[in-house]
Structure 1
Amino acid sequence: MDSIPAFKIVLFLIFPFITADASTILPHKIFNVDNYGARADGSTDDSQAFLRAWNDACQWRGRSKVLIPLGNYMLNSVTFVGPCNGEMIFVIKGTLRAPTNPALFFTNTWIGFRYVDNLTLEGGGYLDGQGAAAWPHNDCSKNIGCLPLPISLRLDFITNSRIQKLRSINSKNAHINLFACNNINISHVRLSAPGNSPNTDGIHIGFSNNIKISSVNIGTGDDCISMVSGSQNIVISDVFCGPGHGISIGSLGRAFAKEYVMHINVVNTTFRNTQNGVRIKTWSPSSPSLASDINFQDIIMDNVNNPIIIDQDYCPFCSPTNKLIVTSLNNLRCFLGGESISQVQIRDVTFRNISGTSSSKVAIYLQCSRVVPCHKVKLVDIDLAYREAGGPAIASCSNVYGASYGKQVPSGCL
C-alpha cells in the first residue's frame, strides 16, 4: 500500500473540513426580531424592528435566519429588500397581524420581499390580514378609480426560493402574489378567506417562470390560483380548492401582448363547491396574444358550477344587454353583443381524466374567439354528471377545433 505523504496528514489534522462545503457546516446566524425591539403584544407597530433585523441579516456574510418567535406581532406595510450577502431564511413562528385602520389600507403590499436570491419563508406561523375591516372598501366593480388594497405576501424579482409551512388568513386582497420571479417552490401552505370576500385570490402569478405549487389548501373569495401574462413553466399539483373561483389562466389580452402564457400543468387537484374548476379567460375585445401548451389532468370536481371552461368573452362588469361599458382606467371596453372578438390565440390545451359533479347543466363550456378560434383542444376521459335533477349534463362549444378521446360524459362537444 502506498504511504500517505506527511504534509497531507498535517493538513487534514489542522483543517479536517477543508474539502467540505462550508455552507453545510456553518450554522445560520439568528437575528431575533425581539432583540431589535419588537413587542409581541398585537398592537405595537413592529415594522421598524423587523426591518432592522432584516437589514442586519441581509448584510451578514454567511447564512442568516430572521426569527419571529411565537406571539402576536402587528406590522404596517413593510418590504424587505435585497440583494443579500448569503442565504436568507425568514422563520415565522408567531402570528403577524395587519392594521385595521382604514388610513393604512390603500397600498399594494402588506408584507413584501424584493430582489432576493435563495430566500426561504417558513415556520408554521400565520399571516392575518384582518381583511374584514377592509373588504367594504373594495368598490372596484363600480368605481374605475378605486384604490388598491394590500396583498398579504408580495414577492417581486425573487429567485431560487421557497415558501413552505405557512398559513395566510383573511387577506385584504390576494394572499400571495409573484411578479417577475424565477424558480419558486410553494408547498404545504394553507390560504383561507370567506367565499364572499372580494378579490382574495390565493396565489396570483405574473411575468414569472419555473414555479412549482404543491400540497396546498386554498379557500377564498376569488381564484384559488391565477396565472396572467408572462406566466410560463408552471406546475401545480395536489391542490384542494374551495370555496373560490377555481384555477384560472387569465384574464389575458388587456395588455402585455407579447408576454405569453405557456407550459402550464395542473394535475391531481380537487375542487369543491367552487364557481369554476379549470378555466382560461380572455378579455373581449383584446390585444393579440397567446396561451398554449396547457394541461389539466387527474382532477375531481365536487359540485362545481363551471367544471371546464374557456371563456373568450370575459367582461365581468358588463351588462348582459349592453356590453359597451368602460370597465377600467385602461379604457378597456366590452363589445356590444355578438360573438367573442378576443385576439388571444388559445391552442394545445388538454383536459384529461376529469370527473365528478357539476352544479350547472353545462358542465363543459368552450366559448372561443371567432377572430382566432381555439386550436388543438383535446377532451380525454371526461365524466361529469349534473348534480341536480333535470337530465344529464351537456357541453357547449363554439369556435373550437380539436378532438375527443375515451369516455365523454357529457358528449357532443368536439
Structure 2
Amino acid sequence: MASATNTKIVSSPLLVLLLFSLYTSSAEETGTTLTSSTEEKNVFVLDNYGARGDGEHDDTQALAKAWNAACSSSRPASSLLVPKGNTYLLKPVTLSGPCKSSITFNVKGTLLAPPSRSDWTQDTIRHWIMFQGVSDLTVTGGGTVDGNGEIWWKNSCKTNEALPCTEAPTALTFHQCDNLKVDNLRILNSQQIHLSVEDCANVRVSRLSITAPGTSPNTDGIHVTRSTDVQVRDCAIKTGDDCLSIEDGTRNLHVTKVVCGPGHGISIGSLGDDDSRAEVSGVTIDSVQLYGTTNGARIKTWQGGSGYAKDIVFQNIVMDNVQNPIIIDQSYCDSAKPCEDQESSAVEISNIVFKNIRGTTASKDAIKLSCSQNAPCSDIALENIELKLEGGDGDPESTCQNAKWRKSGNVVPSPCKGSN
C-alpha cells in the first residue's frame, strides 16, 4: 500500500488554476457568424430571436424562443448558441424537454441575472436558470453564468440575524436530466447554490470554475441529490459554503481532481433533517486539494433521521490550513434554536474510508468522529494519514465518540486515544 507522501497530487493551487485556464481557453471555439446559414446547420443563435445582448434589456423571451426552436428540431442534433462578447440579462427561466434530439447549449457569452429580488416570485424563488426533463443535454462553451448574487447575500439571515430566513435561487438547476454533460463554464456569484443536479442519471460535470466571496452565505459550488452515476472532475471551486454538497439519494458518485477553497469543504449531508429518511452510497472523493476551508472530508447527519450513508471513500487528499480535516458529525444542527436530543434514531454511517490524507490543520482536533450512541458509526478505516498543526506549534489530536474504527499504516494524529 502506498504511503500518503507518495500520492501524486499537484501541490500548488495556482498551478492547477493555470492549467485549468489553459485547458478551457484551448477548448473555446472562435465564435459563429450570425447568418441564416447557421440554422441550416441546426445552430440556433440567440440573437436571431430578438435578444439584445447588452446586459440591460430583458432577453428571457428570446432565450425561450430559441430553446423551443432548438428543442423541437427534428434533426439528429441541435445547438443553441449564446454568442461570445455579449451579455444577456435573464429573469427566471425554465428550459424544458423532452426534446426531439440531443441538444447542446453553447454558452460563449455571459448570462446575467437581474439585480433586483423583485424579479422573482414565490413560485420561482428557488431557481434562476433551470433545465427540466431534458435527455442527452450538453451545456458548454467557455462562457460565463453570473448570478449577480450580492443583493441576496445582503438580505440573508446568515448575514444579518435580524432578517427573516428566506429562500434564494440556484443559478443552474438540472432536474430529471439523463445523459447530461456540463463542461467548460465559469459560474460566478450565485444567489445561493451555483449548480444543482437533482433526480438525474449518467451525469458528467467537468472543467468548471465556480467563484463567489468567502463571506457569501449558502453559495454551495456543486450540489448533488437524488441522482445516480455522477462524475465530477477538473473543477476549481471558491465559495462561501460547501464546495461540494452531497445529499439524499446520491448513488455512485465519483469526484476527482477538484481544488476547493475558500469554503466549507466537501460535505456528505446534511442527512435526516426533519426526521426524514436519507440514503447515500457508493461515493468516492479522490485527488482533491482543500485550502483554508472550514472542513475537509465531512459527513453530517441530523438526530432523529433514519437511513444510511455507506460505502464512502475519501482518498489522496491534500489539506492546507483546514479547520476540521476529517469529521463525522451525527448530531448536526443548523438551526436558530437548539436541536432536541433525539438519540432514539439516527442515519447509520458505515464502511467509510479515509486514506492517503496529508497536510495541515488549523485546529487541534484534526480527526473528529462524533457518532450516535444508538447507531454507532461502524467500519471506519483510517489509512496513511499525516496531519500537522498549522504553524507547527504543538501536535494535533483526535477525538471519537461511539465510533468503531480501524487503522492501517501510519496515522497522525494517533486515532481516538482512550476510546473506540
Superposition TM-score tier, normalisation by shorter sequence: 0.7 to 0.9
Correspondence for 2:113 among 92, 98, 101: 98
- Letter of the 2:44 partner, please give it: F
From the CA coordinates, give the structure whose radius of gyration is larger: 1
1:137 matched to which residue of 2? 155
Counterpart CA distance in 1 for 2:110 and 2:336 is: 40
Give the C-alpha shift of residue 38 in structure 1. 0.3
Q: Which amino acid aligns with 1:410?
A: P
SS in structure 2 opposite 1:51? helix
Task: Say which is worse superposed, 100-109 or 82-91, in terms of deviation.
Answer: 100-109
How much has 1:366 moved relative to structure 2?
Answer: 0.5
Aligned residue among 69, 72, 77 for 2:92: 77
Of 49, 71, 76, which residue of structure 2 is paired with 1:58?
71
Q: Is the 8 A contact 2:278 2:305 kept in 1?
A: no
DSSP 3-state at the match of 1:260:
strand
* Count of aligned positions: 372
Shift of 1:59: 0.6
Given that residues 208 and 230 in structure 1 are in contact (C-alpha distance below 8 angstroms), is that contact kept between their aligned partners in structure 2? yes
User: Quick check: 2:44–2:66 contact (8 Å CA) kept in 1?
Assistant: yes
Aligned-partner Cα distance in 2 for 1:77–1:318 = 30
Between the aligned partners of 1:31 and 1:349, the Cα distance in structure 2 is 47
| 1:86 lines up with 2:101 in the alignment | yes
Matched, 1:127 2:130: no
1:270 to 289, 310, 317: 289
Among residues 243, 262, 266, which one is paired with 1:247 in the alignment? 266
Post-superposition Cα deviations, 1:46-98, rounded to whole Å, max 9, x if no partner, equal: 00000000001111012100000021110000110000000100000001110
Deviates more, 1:353-362 or 1:95-104: 95-104
Equivalent residues of 2:158, 2:217 under 8 A apart: no
> What is the CA-CA distance between 1:145 and the residue it aligns to?
6.3
The alignment yields a C-alpha RMSD, in angstroms, of 1.8
Give the match for residue 232 of structure 1.
251
- Ranges of 4+ aligned residues in structure 1 off by more than 3 Å: 140-146, 255-259, 339-342
| Structural mapping, 1:123-272, within 5 Å | 123-139=141-157, 146-254=165-273, 257-272=276-291
CA 1:50–1:318 in structure 2 vs 1: closer, same or farther (change >3 Å)?
closer
Which residue does 1:394 correspond to in 2? Answer: 397
The 1:203–1:37 alpha-carbon spacing in structure 2 relative to 1, beyond 3 Å, is same
For 2:224, the aligned partner's letter is I
148-157 vs 250-259, greater mean Cα deviation: 250-259
The offset of 1:146, in angstroms, is: 3.2
Q: Secondary structure at the match of 1:134?
A: helix
The alpha carbon displacement at 1:243 in A equals 0.3
Deviations along 1:321-355, one digit per CA (max 9) or x if unpaired, are: xx2xxxxxxxxxx125xx96651100000000000
Cα separation, 1, equivalents of 2:197 and 2:415: 39
Given the superposition, is the C-alpha separation of residues 235 and 365 from structure 1 closer, same or farther in structure 2, using an over 3 Å criterion? same
Change (3 A) 1:114 1:45: same
Closer/same/farther in 2, CA of residues 244 and 341 from structure 1, 3 Å limit: farther
**SS at structure 1 position matched to 2:154:** helix
Q: Give the alignment partner of residue 61 of structure 2, picking from 37, 43, 48.
A: 48
CA contact (8 A) 1:361 1:394 kept: yes
Match of 1:279 among 279, 294, 298: 298
Q: 1:262 & 1:395 partners in 2: Cα distance?
A: 26
CA shift at 1:34, angstroms? 0.3
Cα distance between partner residues in 2 of 1:341 and 1:274: 33
Whether the 8 Å contact between 2:344 and 2:374 is mirrored in structure 1 is yes
Q: What amino acid sits opposite 2:133 in the alignment?
A: Y
Matches of 2:221 and 2:344, distance apart in 1:
30
Task: Give the equivalent residue in structure 2 for 1:294.
Answer: 312
Q: Percent identity?
A: 41
Q: Match of 1:55, SS?
A: helix
Residue 362 (1) aligns with residue 365 (2): yes
Partner residue in 2 for 1:8: none
Question: Displacement, 1:139?
Answer: 1.7
Mark the CA change 1:255 to 1:89 in structure 2 (over 3 Å): closer, same or farther. farther
The CA deviation string for residues 376-409 of structure 1, in whole angstroms up to 9 with x for no partner, is 0000000000114541000111100120110110
The 8 Å contact of residues 229 and 260 in structure 1, kept in 2 or not, is answered as yes
1:137 is displaced (CA, Å) by: 1.6
Evaluate the alpha carbon distance shift between residue 140 and residue 391 of structure 1 in structure 2; reply closer, same or farther with a 3 A threshold: closer
Contact 2:157-2:164 within 8 A present in 1 as well:
no
**C-alpha separation between the residues in 2 aligned to 1:213 and 1:255?**
29
TM-score, scaled relative to structure 1: 0.87
- Counterpart pick for 2:388 among 380, 385, 388: 385
For the Cα contact (< 8 Å) 1:253–1:342, is it kept in 2? no
Offset of residue 255 of structure 1 = 5.3
What is the CA deviation profile of residues 85-139 of structure 1, one whole-angstrom value per residue up to 9, with x for unaligned ones?
0010000000111011121245111111000000000000001111112211222
Shift of the alpha carbon at 1:412?
A: 3.4
222 and 340 in structure 1: CA distance in 2 versus 1, 3 angstrom threshold: farther
Counterpart contact for 1:223–1:247, Cα < 8 Å? yes
